[in-house]
Chain A
Amino acid sequence: QQQVKQSPQSLIVQKGGISIINCAYENTAFDYFPWYQQFPGKGPALLIAIRPDVSEKKEGRFTISFNKSAKQFSLHIMDSQPGDSATYFCAASRPSGNTPLVFGKGTRLSVIA
């Protein structure tokens, strides 16, 4: 019930292509779904987040698609660049104060020229 399953574990994309990372959850009480980006040797940083009352959120080249009935959400990176090469984590949270986020296991993205 508390798990968030993330796929793929690693991804190689050509420069200019679309990177897609998927996550699935089981707990229908989750109401906040963020994506974090982490560069080697650094802490993760919030990239973009969505609530289940919308099906899509876009910020620049980054888009979250959310499917409430399927309990799935995904990150799309349009026009992928070598600078996007990083590890991406999806997460989910319940609406109860500072209850810890539940993280997926991460996807290592490599964008090659």
Chain B
Amino acid sequence: DGGITQSPKYLFRKEGQNVTLSCEQNLNHDAMYWYRQDPGQGLRLIYYSQIVNDFQKGDIAEGYSVSREKKESFPLTVTSAQKNPTAFYLCATRTGHEKLFFGSGTQLSVL
């Protein structure tokens, strides 16, 4: 996961609270992605961005929001509308058509 920093490693959310997960990269990659991982569910795409100031919804975007103001940063906000936020969240980057690089993840839990 060199070059991709996700923080924090663990995060706890109270009912009704919005929380933001950070993803920073120094690989100079154009595309960035957010995945959610639940046991037995594989990797589900939340949002992705191919260039700065542009992003697209993935398969499970409801209850989440993102921004891409800088090439290096792609923060994910888990809003209070996401009723089941407990999961392992993974940020990834990619340049061109092939290899996807993943960060080390953030485990989000509900208090």
Contacts and interface: CB of A to CB of B under 8 A. Distances in A.
Interface of A: 6, 9, 32, 34, 36, 41-46, 49, 89, 91, 93, 95-98, 100-101, 103-106
Given A97-B97, A98-B31, A98-B96, A104 B42 contact: yes
Contacts of B58: 100
Interface residues of B, number: 27
A104 B42 CA distance: 6
Contacts of A91: 100
B62 interface: no
A100 B99 contact: no
A45 B107 CA distance: 18
Nearest to A46: B99
Interface string B82-95: 00000000101011
Interface stretch (B12-20, B43-51, B63-71, B72-80): B43-51
B102 A45 contact: yes
B51 to A, nearest CB: 9
Contacts of A32: 97-98
A95 B96 CA distance: 10
Nearest to B49: A98
Given A44-B102, A97-B96, A106-B40, 16 more contacts: A32-B97, A32-B98, A34-B98, A36-B100, A36-B102, A41-B105, A42-B1, A43-B1, A43-B105, A45-B102, A91-B100, A95-B97, A97-B97, A98-B30, A98-B96, A103-B43
